[in-house]
């Protein structure tokens, strides 16, 4: 019986379901007990049998209006009646908590018949009288009513109100060990999902009216793109091109479909492909069942709806199962890009496509020559665009969506503490040289930083610096940081160029890596230098997993150090605690693996390991850090980290420990100062000791 309301909603309820419900109705001993079954039987007449007149005839007595004493029919439902439905004036009704749902169902019948005014009166009456599920259903019907009237903003308001009321009706449940919590019942969850689905559709209609269906279609594609549902985004961009081929949104979609092909080239982006395909496939049997029942009942509106949904999913699955991946994807991207460029060499988005293909070759396939060729093409295209005095081709931006599709004025802003933060375009923004002043410079800066990196890989430091200088000029964010003497990408790159190595990988570290593997290590370290930490750790993680060939213990030691360092940095930036724990796991191998402990980088790795535990404000982790610092003191007395480890251990021991441990920390630092009175840490140790002694 619990399935019957769901089948009614889906349009898949059968005559057998109706008969079963009628039998339960007959068995009920009172009108109060009969009413829930009567309501379901009446809903069957409206939703499945398309006989709203019979539905109303059954339910009017429940609100105190006796127009018929006919028993509930057990025979097959009659055909839908075409005459307008009649109901007595609302003042003749008696609506209370026991019949409110019946009143709402009558309102739904009138709404289907186009009698808006009386339907609105009924739901207003129920909505004002009650605060339970009746009010939720009344508000939902109000949303349906305004959607039928094509007043979509009001429709959204009613659905939103319904959901707010529903939120207040959550049931209280006690869970052992967790205490009380508020949850939706199964029926409330079903209702919530139904209303949310209606609200999404109403919102789409509202936005299409206000901003244009072309912008809505483009925005939807970008939302999937930004959410990294690349398969769905690729399909939706195709729909934009198909429906609005001459629009600027189609031109943007042509670009982003090519860019997505570069995503399909990277195996790391395949993770959710099968899940997306599976979800779509699982919907087909249910939709076909709904279509079958709709055809059986000759509900034309539902037939068209389900046929369209099936066609869309079939189209998506056909595309998804034939889409190129891996090397075939980047090859297809090149083919599509050449067509795109030939169609209009100085048109919008061409440089963006060139850059993404170049970066894919460099960062996914580690093909330096091909990648650099595409980067040089990007650079030449950008210079041509900047130098030309001709009127370049543009697209008219539809008036309706001109404001909503405007990209950010700048690529960054300062927060209340003065920190520079990036401003990312939102889904639906048109980002190109026609719409934003910073677009060309932004592309040029990204191109120059990678061209400079390639020169650094070849040890051509002077040429690398020329590219970084041009990047500095193009990137307004860097220019502002330099003026205020803040940390920035240019300073880091120029500083490491002077040192001859990037952030983590010293020349000594690189000696054991040759050819392609050396380039991969440098690429990961380059990402760490420009603080794109997620890519830095993913590259080294893939290396550790053996995706780039075999490696020895010396190489493994560096990979663990570099991967964990980038994970740790990423955890600080993104506030992802699981990345810090993963970094700890990777580095703790140095505490148990003797072969790793004898590698040149071991003391650096262990010092990082201690810091990953240390900077957590967790006493247990800080104790772990102290033990690792002590391990370094004991096993690496000649390392650069030896002095740092003593100072760090004593500092943590003093702040964390009891009185005896505080005295031990002071004693060990005093002994350290005696042994190295002129060492690099001498001054800071003196200051620390003086401060501690004054506290005693």
Chain segment 409-418, per-residue pLDDT in tens: 988 887 777 7
Can you give the pLDDT at residue 82?
A: 47
Give the model's confidence band at 294: pLDDT under 50 very low, under 70 low, under 90 confident, else very high: confident
Can you give the pLDDT at residue 411?
A: 86
Can you give the pLDDT at residue 679?
A: 83
Can you give the pLDDT at residue 696?
A: 57
Can you give the pLDDT at residue 176?
A: 61
Give the model's confidence band at 623: pLDDT under 50 very low, under 70 low, under 90 confident, else very high: very high
What element of type H or E holds 171? strand 171-175
CB neighbourhood size of 376 (10 A): 14
Given CA atoms 210, 216, 220, 222 in this order, what sign does their dihedral have?
negative
Can you give the pLDDT at residue 11?
A: 82
Give dist(CA 421, CA 223) in Å, integer.
Answer: 22
Give the model's confidence band at 576: pLDDT under 50 very low, under 70 low, under 90 confident, else very high: confident
Average pLDDT over residues 369-390: 92
Say yes or no to pLDDT of 6 above 90. Answer: no
Can you give the pLDDT at residue 480?
A: 86
Residues 6+ away with beta carbon under 8 Å from 281: 317
Can you give the pLDDT at residue 179?
A: 67
Can you give the pLDDT at residue 136?
A: 93
Say yes or no to pLDDT of 232 above 70. Answer: yes
Give the model's confidence band at 187: pLDDT under 50 very low, under 70 low, under 90 confident, else very high: confident
Q: What DSSP letter does each residue of 564-583 carry, written as one string?
A: HHHHHHHHHHHT-HHHHHHH
- Residue 570 near residue 534, CB atoms below 8 Å: yes
Can you give the pLDDT at residue 501?
A: 79
Average pLDDT over residues 375-404: 89
> For 521-541, what is each residue's pLDDT tens digit?
999 999 999 999 999 999 999
Mean pLDDT over all residues of the chain?
90
Give the model's confidence band at 70: pLDDT under 50 very low, under 70 low, under 90 confident, else very high: very low
Q: What DSSP letter does each residue of 393-449 carry, written as one string?
A: ---PPPGGGTTTTPPPSSSEEE-TT--EEE-PPPTT---STTT-TTHHHHHHHHHHH
Can you give the pLDDT at residue 391?
A: 67
Give the model's confidence band at 75: pLDDT under 50 very low, under 70 low, under 90 confident, else very high: very low
Give the model's confidence band at 74: pLDDT under 50 very low, under 70 low, under 90 confident, else very high: very low
* Residue 82 CB-density burial (10 A; 0-12 exposed, 13-18 middle, 19+ buried): exposed
- Of residues 425 and 616, the one with the higher pLDDT is 425
Average pLDDT over residues 87-91: 88
Can you give the pLDDT at residue 325?
A: 92
Percent of the chain with pLDDT over 90: 65
Provide φ and ψ at 175, rounded to 5°. -115, 130
Can you give the pLDDT at residue 71?
A: 38
Can you give the pLDDT at residue 389?
A: 66
Give the model's confidence band at 240: pLDDT under 50 very low, under 70 low, under 90 confident, else very high: very high
What element of type H or E holds 119? helix 116-129
What is the 8-class DSSP label of residue 183? E
Integer CA distances (angstroms), 358 to 364, 432, 458, in order: 10, 19, 18
Can you give the pLDDT at residue 1?
A: 62
Average pLDDT over residues 149-173: 91
Average pLDDT over residues 419-443: 91
Can you give the pLDDT at residue 81?
A: 45
Say yes or no to pLDDT of 250 above 90. Answer: yes
What element of type H or E holds 662? helix 659-675
- Lowest-confidence pick of 104-113, 219-228, 396-405, 625-634: 104-113
Give dist(CA 119, CA 108) in Å, integer.
Answer: 7
Can you give the pLDDT at residue 307?
A: 94
Given CA atoms 524, 527, 234, 337 in this order, what sign does their dihedral have?
negative
Average pLDDT over residues 545-563: 95
How do beta strands 412-414 and 420-422 pair?
antiparallel
Average pLDDT over residues 4-12: 85
What element of type H or E holds 173? strand 171-175
- Of residues 183 and 129, the one with the higher pLDDT is 129
Can you give the pLDDT at residue 386?
A: 87
Provide φ and ψ at 182, rounded to 5°. -95, 130
Can you give the pLDDT at residue 83?
A: 53
Say yes or no to pLDDT of 324 above 80. Answer: yes
Say yes or no to pLDDT of 622 above 60. Answer: yes
């Amino acid at each position: 019986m619990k399935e019957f309301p769901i089948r009614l909603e889906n349009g898949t309820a059968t005559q057998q379901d109706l008969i079963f419900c009628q039998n339960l109705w007959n068995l009920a001993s009172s009108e109060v007990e009969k009413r829930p079954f009567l309501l379901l039987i009446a809903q069957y007449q409206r939703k499945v049998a398309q006989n709203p007149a019979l539905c109303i005839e059954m339910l009017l007595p429940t609100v105190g209006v006796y127009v018929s004493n006919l028993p509930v029919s057990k025979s097959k439902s009659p055909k839908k009646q075409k005459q307008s439905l009649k109901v007595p004036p609302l003042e003749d009704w008696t609506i209370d908590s026991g019949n409110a749902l019946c009143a709402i169902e009558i309102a739904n019948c009138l709404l289907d018949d186009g009698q808006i005014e009386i339907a609105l009166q009924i739901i207003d009456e129920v909505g004002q009288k009650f605060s339970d599920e009746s009010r939720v259903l009344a508000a939902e019907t109000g949303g349906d009513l305004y959607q039928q009237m094509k007043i979509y903003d009001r429709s959204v308001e009613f659905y939103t109100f319904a959901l707010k009321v529903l939120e207040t009706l959550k049931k209280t449940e006690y869970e052992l060990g967790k205490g009380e919590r508020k949850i939706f019942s199964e029926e409330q969850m079903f209702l919530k999902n139904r209303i949310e689905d209606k609200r999404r559709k109403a919102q789409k209609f509202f936005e299409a009216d206000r901003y244009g269906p072309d912008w809505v279609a483009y925005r939807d594609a970008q939302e999937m793109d930004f959410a990294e549902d690349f398969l769905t985004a690729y399909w939706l961009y195709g729909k934009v091109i198909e429906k609005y081929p001459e629009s600027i949104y189609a031109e943007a979609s042509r670009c982003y479909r090519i860019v997505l092909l570069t995503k399909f080239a990277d195996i790391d982006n395949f993770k959710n492909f099968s899940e997306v395909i599976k979800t779509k496939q699982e919907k087909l049997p249910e939709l076909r069942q709904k279509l079958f029942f709709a055809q059986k009942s000759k509900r034309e509106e539902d037939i068209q709806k389900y046929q369209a949904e099936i066609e869309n999913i079939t189209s998506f699955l056909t595309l998804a199962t034939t889409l190129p991946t891996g090397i075939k994807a980047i090859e297809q991207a090149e083919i599509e890009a050449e067509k795109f460029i030939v169609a209009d060499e100085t048109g919008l988005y061409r440089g963006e496509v060139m850059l993404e293909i170049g970066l894919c070759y460099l960062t996914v396939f580690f093909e330096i020559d091909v990648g650099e060729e595409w980067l040089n093409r990007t650079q030449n295209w950008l210079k041509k665009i900047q130098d030309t005095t001709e009127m370049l081709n543009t697209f008219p931006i539809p008036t309706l969506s001109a404001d909503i599709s405007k990209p950010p004025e700048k690529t960054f802003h300062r927060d209340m503490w003065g920190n520079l933060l990036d401003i990312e375009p939102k889904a639906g923004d048109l980002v190109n040289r026609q719409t934003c002043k910073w677009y060309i410079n932004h592309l040029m800066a990204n191109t120059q930083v990678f061209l400079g990196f390639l020169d650094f890989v070849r040890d051509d430091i002077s040429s690398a610096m020329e590219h970084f200088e041009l990047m500095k000029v193009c990137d307004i964010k860097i220019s502002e940081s330099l003026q205020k003497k803040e940390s920035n990408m240019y300073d880091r790159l120029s500083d490491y160029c002077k040192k001859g190595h990037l952030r983590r990988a010293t020349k000594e570290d690189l000696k054991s890596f040759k050819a392609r593997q050396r380039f991969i290590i440098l690429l990961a370290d380059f990402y760490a230098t420009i603080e794109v930490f997620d890519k830095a750790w993913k590259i080294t993680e893939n290396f550790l997993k053996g995706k780039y060939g075999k490696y020895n213990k010396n190489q493994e030691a560096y990979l663990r150090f570099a991967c964990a360092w980038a994970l740790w940095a990423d955890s600080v930036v993104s506030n992802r605690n699981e990345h810090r724990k993963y970094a700890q796991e990777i580095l703790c191998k140095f505490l148990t693996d003797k072969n790793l402990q004898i590698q040149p980088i071991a003391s650096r790795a262990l010092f990082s390991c201690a810091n990953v535990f240390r900077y957590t404000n967790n006493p247990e982790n800080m104790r772990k850090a102290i033990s690792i610092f002590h391990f370094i003191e004991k096993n690496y007395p000649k390392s650069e980290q030896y002095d740092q480890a003593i100072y760090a251990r004593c500092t943590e021991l003093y702040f964390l420990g009891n009185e005896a441990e505080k005295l031990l920390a002071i004693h060990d630092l005093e002994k350290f100062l005696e042994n190295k009175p002129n060492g690099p840490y001498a001054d800071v140790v003196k200051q620390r000791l003086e401060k501690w002694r004054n506290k005693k």
